[in-house]
Amino acid sequence: MDDRDNPDGITDDTFDGRDATIFLVDASAPMFEKTSPSVDNIEAEPTIDDCPFTLAIRCAFNTLKNKIFTAPYDSVAIVLFGTKKKKPNEKYGVYSNTYLLQDLQKPDCDPILQLDEMLNKDGGIDEYVYAVDQQSISLADALWLCSSIFSKHKSKKDNKKIFLFTNNDEPHSKFSNKQKQAEKRIGDLQDGNVSIFLFPIGEAFDTSKVYQELLMSNEYGSILSGSMTADELLSKICRKGQKKRPVANLVFNVDSNTKFGVKLYNLIRPAPTPKRMQLDKRTNEIVKSVTTKFNAETAETLLPSELMKSTIVSGEKVRLDKNDLTSLKSKFAVGFTLLGFKPIEKLKFHLYLSPASFIYPDEDLVKGSRVLFGVLMDRCQVRGFAPLCILKCTAATKPRIVALLPNAEQDPEQPSVFGFHVIYLPFLNDVRKFNYGDLVGSTLVLKDERKYVPEVWRADRGQIDAAVAIVKKLSSKTSYTPAQFEDPALHTKWKTLEGLALGREDVESVDDLALPDCDCIDRRLGQRSTIFNDLVFPLGYQSRNFQASILTPRDPQHEATVEDAARNGWLDKMKVDILKGYLSNQGVHGVSKMKKAECIQNIKLHLNLK
């Protein structure tokens, strides 16, 4: 684990904790109307995704499946309003044309199977069809039920969210009593720190009719743009459900008297595979491992206070106890310590060490941090300088030298991000010298008639042009996005676990998008690859990766020795490399993975010996 991912770091209480999300789905008449085919494709049959209600349920279904792996301690509920489905609820009371499909609970197999049956069973959504009397639909009653669910939820510190799905931009008139009741309920929810996110379905959704005025005081929530497909809705749900947790809240020390607070974020981190748990094969219970340290000479158990660490300095072993290590780590203050400034063009970003982080001012840690942070960022952008700092995330982590690069990206589709990118600079030991001669080869050339100097083989102009032509032809016209390439091994494991948990016989296969499309590459290159090979590789050239067994000539003396040892019964006294070499020369496959016992057995089988 990287130092910046240390779980002992200080986290932000505002975004910490779990999420409690309610999917509030409109089940009125417009939600069951399938969109008509486009003019360009009139003959196309409407699919199940054309029903907005099905789109919303499918989003809840996929969210539950994802949360089992990504956030198993979050809670999810599904509430329908405007439906004819009725069921007495003693826990929360009865609300008109409002139905609690699933109570607020952690993601599990039963709610997922219930939604799966709704989506795939014939007539699975018929019993939830809209109410007969459209005028009886009340958004206020649905929000009241959501408020009751949150109030009786066990964990009071969860981040409460409501995802409202509808394609009806005018559920009631703008100045009606229902409008006033809905405003009252939304105000009560916002007083309880509940965020409301509106997910309109359909591009013609007009938010100015009702919802813009209803959610105008929505401090933490928002109104999203209209969506037509399940992929668009899932992408927006993923962005709104992402936990914006800082790695640490740190102090930025400008000098001994001036400081301000910042939040440190990791924008990119790898998706880890689930940890393995050791189980007892008899009881299937989790096995707990306990480590006990003892003295090898006396066999006495050692206490933590008796343990010491050592390091080699000038060839001598220096012992350090716990207090010594603590004093060494406390030499640098936790947080950012400003060292100076350096022109941005002088920084060597090609010396990539680790993914960059991001800092944002923390007004709660130090009052006035946003003003000082903004002034520093503005001056750095105007003058083209980057602050150099010492970064120490926690008391236990080692200090790092970092450069703060002001964010200059201006995406017209995204709001401007206010902050610095934290670029981790390498120490001297982190930069390795690259020997090109070891990679491409070299020739000893006599220099000044005194000594021979290796001269690296370099490509001529024709070889370079041939390589450039290949690179240009295979370069993608679109920018590279890591999200486009998913880990097939990780997704296969998730799909297998999902199939076992849901009792499915067929497991959905996962395509490896990182594999090259050889046919497409051949079509693009044409004769360019042949021209490159003819210019770079001479006739009869063989790669270093060529099988060693083919390139290595046979040694008759070794072969005779191995056969003689096999007949006399002392093969176990020979080295395993000699045994593997004999099998390779005899054409046996898979020799590199064989152990010594397997080599002996294969030699006996080859010589028809018992």
404 token code pair: 């703060």
The CA distance from 493 to 392, in Å, is 36
Phi and psi for 443 in degrees, rounded to 5?
Answer: -130, 135
**Predicted pLDDT of residue 219:** 66
Give me the helix-helix angle, 461-474 and 518-525, nearest 10°. Answer: 130
Kindly state the greatest CA–CA separation across the chain: 103
The single-letter DSSP state of residue 305 is: G
**Predicted pLDDT of residue 416:** 58
H-helix or E-strand spanning residue 250: strand 248-253
> Which three-class secondary structure state does DSSP give residue 198?
strand
Phi and psi for 124 in degrees, rounded to 5?
Answer: -70, -25
Cβ-proximal residues to 299 (8 Å cutoff; 6+ apart), any chain: none
214 token code pair: 């209803």
The CA distance from 514 to 491, in Å, is 13
Q: Which residue has the tokens 């959610």?
A: 215
Centre a 10 Å sphere on the Cβ of residue 375 and count the other Cβ atoms it contains.
Answer: 11
With beta carbons less than 8 A apart as the criterion, state whether 558 and 581 touch. Answer: yes
What's the pLDDT tens digit per position in 538-570? 655 555 444 444 434 455 556 667 888 888 887
Instruction: Please return the burial class of 244, using the count of CB atoms within 10 Å of its CB with bins 0-12, 13-18 and 19+.
Output: exposed
Phi and psi for 458 in degrees, rounded to 5?
Answer: -120, 150
> Which alpha helices (DSSP H) does 71-162 contain, by range?
109-120, 139-151
Bridge partners, residue 252, by sequence: 260, 336
E strands, 448-591, where?
451-456
pTM (whole model) above 0.75: no
- The alpha carbon dihedral of 4, 5, 7, 11 has a sign of positive
**Predicted pLDDT of residue 391:** 93
Q: HSE on the CB side for 479, CA within 13 Å?
A: 2
**Predicted pLDDT of residue 133:** 56
The single-letter DSSP state of residue 362 is: -
Give me the helix-helix angle, 596-606 and 556-568, nearest 10°. Answer: 90
Residues (pLDDT < 50) of the chain are 1-16, 37-48, 544-553
**Predicted pLDDT of residue 542:** 55
H-helix or E-strand spanning residue 371: helix 369-383
